[in-house]
Amino acid sequence: MSRLVIEGGVPISGEIVVQGAKNAVLPILAATVLSDEECVIKNCPKLRDVDKTDLVLEGLGCKVRREGDTVIVNPTSICGCSISEGLMREMRSSIIFLGAIVARCSEAVVSMPGGCPIGLRPIDLHLKALRDLGVEIIEEHGYIYCRTAEIRGNDIHLDFPSVGATENIMLAAARGKGITTIINAAREPEIVNLECFLNAMGAKISGAGTGVIYIEGVERLHGAEFMIMPDRIVAATYLAASAITGGEMCLKSVEPKDMVAILKALENMGVEFDIGKNEIIQHINRPLRNIPILRTMPYPGFPTDIQSPFMALCTLASGTSVFIETIFENRFQHVDELVRMGADIKVDGRSAVIRGVPKLQGANVVARELRGGAALVVAALAAEGITTISGTEYIDRGYENIEKYLLACNAKIERRC
């Protein structure tokens, strides 16, 4: 497997055009299963998870091809209703296909999903919601078997505003009968992006971005061209990389309105911004301050996906920062690796106390999941000496050619086999 080798201590400064959002493109690609015509999805990042999603589509019988940053999906030849166990184990987000497949084929067979080992991510909310929509579900021997005569609209109350469950309900109900209401729906911008794509195909959905989403089922959906939104988590990672090294960063093709909690946290650390339409310019004019308490929350709160890179940022901030992880109970796997680099971090359950240190030292470290891997990159860019990061296959799940973007901003980074 490849490794990233980084020589730290160089200010990360420059301009980056932010890639398309991983957390938006995957459910949108799943949604193409519902169409009776070809769909053209633009601004698709080149990621391991996107490649795996394309394989899922091909396994269902879709014709898939990529032209640059555009993925064209022709679902007219769908002939399958199952996803291979191998793909389900590799990528937990494959579960998002469940609602789309059962809506299109009236049945679906998948194994229990895998993915990054960041803690329990139960799919009981997905399955309960599908049952409420009239889907018969049997779970046995590690497989999920779904069957329905028709998707029937219903009022569904989510115990937790799960992004995946909200998306699965939207996909299943879009071609169902009657009206479905999702109460306590996830409000993430990626949910809005999915609503926009489904409506571009002829769906009748409203309310995305609020806690209540309404779906009026339609008989068929047609093809559409669509542009994937920019990745707010990738954008925040590059801002953290620039801030920790004392650089200046200009992000293009970004949505500042989707990053309010992230930008506020950076401002509290002493970072300054000039914000324009689809542009963020970041300046560092003073030493970084600590974050007294940072608590991850569902949107519009601080996103769990950027907690790890921001923890790396706080290792060199003055004072003590406290991070409380409320979403995933095992999202501190990067801590031991940061400590190897000289960070002062103590973990107690879902809380981490970070005391700022004068410097970090390069070391050999291992990425054990996607966002923790990004945290190690952020730390390595500021560390003295050379850091070697293995486990890059996790980083490649969510960051398109991370070394290419950082090289363009003066980083001393290379990928080695």
- Which residues are known to be catalytic? 116
- The structure tokens 């911008």 sit at 189
Q: What's the gap between Cα 402 and its chain centre?
A: 15
Residue 7 CA to residue 265 CA, distance in Å, equals: 27
Residue 84: CB atoms within 10 A of its CB come to 15
Q: Are strands 386-390 and 364-366 parallel, antiparallel or unpaired?
A: parallel
Residue 15 CA to residue 250 CA, distance in Å, equals: 5
- The structure tokens 């160089």 sit at 10
Contact between 215 and 179 (Cβ < 8 Å): yes
Contact between 341 and 362 (Cβ < 8 Å): yes
Contact between 204 and 194 (Cβ < 8 Å): no
Residue 390 CA to residue 125 CA, distance in Å, equals: 35
Residue 68 CA to residue 91 CA, distance in Å, equals: 23
SS3 123: coil
**Which amino acid makes up residue 412?**
K
Residue 361 φ then ψ, to 5°: -115, 140
Give me the DSSP letters along 67-103: ETTEEEEE-TT----B--HHHHHH-GGGGGHHHHHHH
What are 56's two structure tokens?
Answer: 């899922």
Contact between 286 and 352 (Cβ < 8 Å): no
Contact between 287 and 318 (Cβ < 8 Å): yes
Burial string for 255-289 (b: 16+ CB within 10 Å, else e) reads bbebbebbbebbeebbbeeeeeeeebebebeeebb
Residue 110: CB atoms within 10 A of its CB come to 24
Q: What angle do CA 259, 126, 29 make, to 5 degrees?
A: 60
